[in-house]
Structure 1
């Protein structure tokens, strides 16, 4: 990362911003909340390259060309190997080709194509890395990664995104690393749904297409005049302590997990009480009932002054809140535990244990 000049890939951006640890938008998406393309946060880029563990001589496929910067980093890592980067957007692909040429990385291949198709021309690949959020793993990628090859994907399920490092073992992909992250979703996958929970669209629910959700029922549930209940867990956290593992653990065997989003306007109007992280709070949904993760400040323990719990709405809300507290307490007993994620293609038959089923893949998490 000291070798590749990031500012070359961000023309028009001053040096201070080019080397700040932040994302930089390179193509807006008018009328939409998220841009079409951006340069990822450098520390996240470094983390994912560490997960990928590309070696000299490797043949690497990148999904999502972005600025071209990540492809240049990959070119340095593989030396005499091959790097191919694919992007569906013609402007983004042209930007990447131009900046890579300017920086002296003409040997990187840039292809304008639907990234879900991969790049069969140079397959099989020793490494595949995606720089966009992936909701399902396309069959084409299975065909293009070598047995024993490695994939690093910002994988989305149950409202969260994790950068998951996977190794192919025959008809399975098995993880050995998992980190919280956030990426723009890949174009062409629509398995994650978003529904407004109030008329002002300041409260939203994000869920997967395999989940049975009735947003209209929840709209009535979240009215201000409906009673709410709170259930506290035994788990306390410090001010800088991550609790994202609660979400991850809950998804291992609970299909009711979704993401609740409260906009700044909703928080200003106090439409809901103490969501753990307003923009992305895990919640359990069952018909017209809902319970979401909360953080409450207490003075009893100055080292860990915050207590985790759940706030409940609806006829079965308190039961959902108790279930969520069970997930919180399970996380609290092993806060640093990371599950093994196993993925099989959808045509390999039923996988053992609890699975999250998607059109082209099946996901299993085990602790």
Structure 2
């Protein structure tokens, strides 16, 4: 009997995979022993042969696999941390039938590990290049309980359901009726849902004709394509290379971009809230509170060059909540405090009403700290046309298929 010794590249990949899993455990992204085992098993580097193996096993690295004609990312293999986070949210059991919307390969393999030999995974994508790549990876990695479909996920996969779980790996602004109808009662839908510009991967549970949140996490995903495509619009305020500043509009009123551009070059008014965060604390619940409480609060995206030049003091790839009123604006910011690894929240305003807007933003930060800091919002999704008296009071987001509400205890 002969045995085949693993070669050096296989051993190196295994060591990198073990290190990635250990990092996922330390981050708290992978907690369930079955999730940990799944991430130890999948040879994710086979899905991105053009990427350095060490990079493929970087827990925070998302490999962009396709861009559109304008350079916007439209397909990727998500970072392992985000994949683990979503799979933890899904609470998958052996023998389940899972629909994955947005293919790539490795995530379907993780799902296949979770459901086991008696379960099924259906992964679908609108782009034949993506599904061809996913098919090649799954065959090379030896997964036989995964079906790959090339189709617009707006209609789900009616011939393959109903599903115990639906895991969406692209940013969605709406929930198509097919996803609800093909999900079993009590089933879980995990979806990166964009609400007023802010994206959270939400774990929803189906309760009759509505979806009710059971937790959410901060995330970033490439946008949905096809019939469900609904991208944010940009209102450019500063258009200098490497210093671009723009507002991301998602149902917000059309701003006076010219006046706001002038305001950005006017003296700033700074208001501090007295509320502090630890260095490892996330702003995700605060920002969701702000968009619940304030009407015209788009996100301001700014390149690092804009901050370096002093045009803005905060720049985030996900955008910074910015209160807008006519030709004035105010955005959330932070500063270091005397306490180690602790930062104070505040607001910076520009324009004729900049100080008033900054004071209002700081006031809502204090309200969040006083009344909701230890709370998590409840997000519900109801079919479009649901009467107001059947929907909870709170921030309502009207989409083509659904009425989404954000409420707080």
Same fold (TM over 0.5): yes
**By how many angstroms is 1:218 displaced?**
4.3
**What is the CA–CA distance in structure 2 between the aligned matches of 1:24 and 1:180, rounded to whole Å?**
15
Partner of 2:332: 293
Query: Which structure 2 residue ranges, 5 or more long, are not aligned?
Result: 1-38
Deviations 1:90-115 (A, max 9, x none): 11110001111111113311111112
Q: Does structure 2 conserve the Cα–Cα contact (< 8 Å) formed by 1:124 and 1:146?
A: yes
User: In proportion to residue count, which structure has more helix?
Assistant: 2
**By how many angstroms is 1:140 displaced?**
2.1
Partner of 1:335: 373
Q: How does 1:144-159 map to 2 (within 5 A)?
A: 144-159=182-197
Deviations 1:306-344 (A, max 9, x none): 221111122333332222112211232343421111111
Partner of 2:319: 280
**What is the CA–CA distance in structure 1 between the aligned matches of 2:210 and 2:137, rounded to whole Å?**
37
Q: Are the structure 2 counterparts of residues 283 and 241 from structure 1 closer, same or farther at C-alpha, using a change threshold of 3 Å?
A: same
Q: How does 1:14-53 map to 2 (within 5 A)?
A: 14-29=52-67, 32-53=70-91
SS at match of 1:257: coil
**1:169 lines up with 2:211 in the alignment:** no
Q: More displaced, 68-77 or 211-220?
A: 211-220
**What is the CA–CA distance in structure 2 between the aligned matches of 1:218 and 1:364, rounded to whole Å?**
32
Partner of 1:207: 249
Q: How does 1:11-90 map to 2 (within 5 A)?
A: 11-29=49-67, 32-66=70-104, 68-79=105-116, 80-90=118-128
**What is the CA–CA distance in structure 2 between the aligned matches of 1:278 and 1:37, rounded to whole Å?**
18
SS at match of 1:362: strand
Structure possessing the higher relative contact order (Cα contacts under 8 Å, 6 or more residues apart): 1
**By how many angstroms is 1:137 displaced?**
1.0
Q: More displaced, 307-316 or 25-34?
A: 25-34
**What is the CA–CA distance in structure 1 between the aligned matches of 2:79 and 2:340, rounded to whole Å?**
33
**By how many angstroms is 1:50 displaced?**
0.6
**What is the CA–CA distance in structure 1 between the aligned matches of 2:317 and 2:310, rounded to whole Å?**
11
**What is the CA–CA distance in structure 2 between the aligned matches of 1:215 and 1:93, rounded to whole Å?**
42
Query: Which structure 1 residue ranges, 5 or more long, are not aligned?
Result: none
**By how many angstroms is 1:33 displaced?**
4.5
Q: How does 1:240-259 map to 2 (within 5 A)?
A: 240-259=280-299
Partner of 2:7: none
**What is the CA–CA distance in structure 2 between the aligned matches of 1:78 and 1:303, rounded to whole Å?**
42
Partner of 2:407: 366
**What is the CA–CA distance in structure 2 between the aligned matches of 1:211 and 1:119, rounded to whole Å?**
33
SS at match of 1:186: coil
**By how many angstroms is 1:303 displaced?**
5.4
Partner of 2:6: none
**What is the CA–CA distance in structure 1 between the aligned matches of 2:60 and 2:42, rounded to whole Å?**
17
**What is the CA–CA distance in structure 1 between the aligned matches of 2:129 and 2:123, rounded to whole Å?**
14
Q: More displaced, 348-357 or 102-111?
A: 348-357
**What is the CA–CA distance in structure 2 between the aligned matches of 1:307 and 1:103, rounded to whole Å?**
48
Q: More displaced, 98-107 or 318-327?
A: 318-327
Q: Does structure 2 conserve the Cα–Cα contact (< 8 Å) formed by 1:221 and 1:313?
A: no
**By how many angstroms is 1:26 displaced?**
4.7
**By how many angstroms is 1:223 displaced?**
4.2
SS at match of 1:149: strand
TM-score normalized by the length of structure 1: 0.92
SS at match of 2:275: strand
Partner of 1:270: 310
Give aligned pairs, total.
361
Deviations 1:13-43 (A, max 9, x none): 3432222213342523155444221111112
**What is the CA–CA distance in structure 1 between the aligned matches of 2:47 and 2:239, rounded to whole Å?**
42
Deviations 1:160-218 (A, max 9, x none): 2111100010111001111111111111422522221123370011121x321224244
Q: More displaced, 80-89 or 182-191?
A: 182-191
Q: More displaced, 164-173 or 250-259?
A: 250-259
**What is the CA–CA distance in structure 2 between the aligned matches of 1:336 and 1:184, rounded to whole Å?**
30
Q: Does structure 1 conserve the Cα–Cα contact (< 8 Å) formed by 2:74 and 2:223?
A: no
